[in-house]
Amino acid sequence: MLRGLSIKNFALIEQLQVSFDSGLTTITGETGAGKSLLLGALGLLLGKRADLSSVKDSSQKCIIEGEFLIQQYKLQELFEEEVLDYEDETIIRREILPSGKSRAFVNDTPVTLQSLAALGEKLIDIHSQHQTLEVTSNDFQFTVLDALAETHREVESYKRGLRILKQKEKEVQQLIANQENFTKEYDYNSFLLKELEDAKLKPGELEEVEEQYEKLNNIEEIQERLSSAIGMVSSEDIGISDQLNTVKASLSKIELYSGSLKELSGRVASIAIELEDVHTALVDELEKLEADPQKLEETNQRLQLLHNLQVKHSASGIEELIELKEELQQKVSKTESLSEDIEKLKTEIQSTKDRLDEVAVKIHKKREKALPALIVELEEILKALGMPNATFQASVKMREQYFSNGKEVLEFLFSANKGGSFGELRKVASGGELSRIMLAIKTILSRYTQLPTIIFDEIDTGVSGEIAHKMADLMLNMSSNLQVFSITHLPQIAANGQSQYKVFKEDINDTTVTQLKLLSKEERVREIAEMIGGKDISDTALTHAKSLLHY
pLDDT tens-place string over residues 20-56: 999 999 999 888 777 888 888 999 999 988 877 788 8
HSE, side-chain direction, 13 A CA sphere, residue 127: 28
Share of the chain above pLDDT 70, in %: 98
Question: Which residues 6+ apart lie within 8 Å of 498 measured at CB?
Answer: 21, 23, 24, 25, 479
pLDDT tens-place string over residues 161-189: 999 999 999 999 998 888 777 777 777 88
Q: What is the SS3 assignment for 415?
A: strand
Q: Where are the domains of the chain?
A: 1-123+453-519, 178-337
Q: DSSP secondary structure string, 380-413?
A: HHHHHTT-TT-EEEEEEEEEEEEETTEEEEEEEE
Q: Which of these CATH numbers, 3.20.20.80, 3.40.50.300, 3.30.1280.10, 3.40.50.2000, describes 1-123+453-519? A: 3.40.50.300
pLDDT surpassing 80 at residue 447: yes
pLDDT surpassing 80 at residue 311: yes
Interatomic CA distance for residues 332 and 188, integer angstroms: 10
pLDDT tens-place string over residues 267-292: 988 888 888 888 888 888 787 777 77
SS3 string, 487-515, reads: ECCCHHHHHHCCEEEEEEEEEECCEEEEE
Q: What is the SS3 assignment for 3?
A: strand
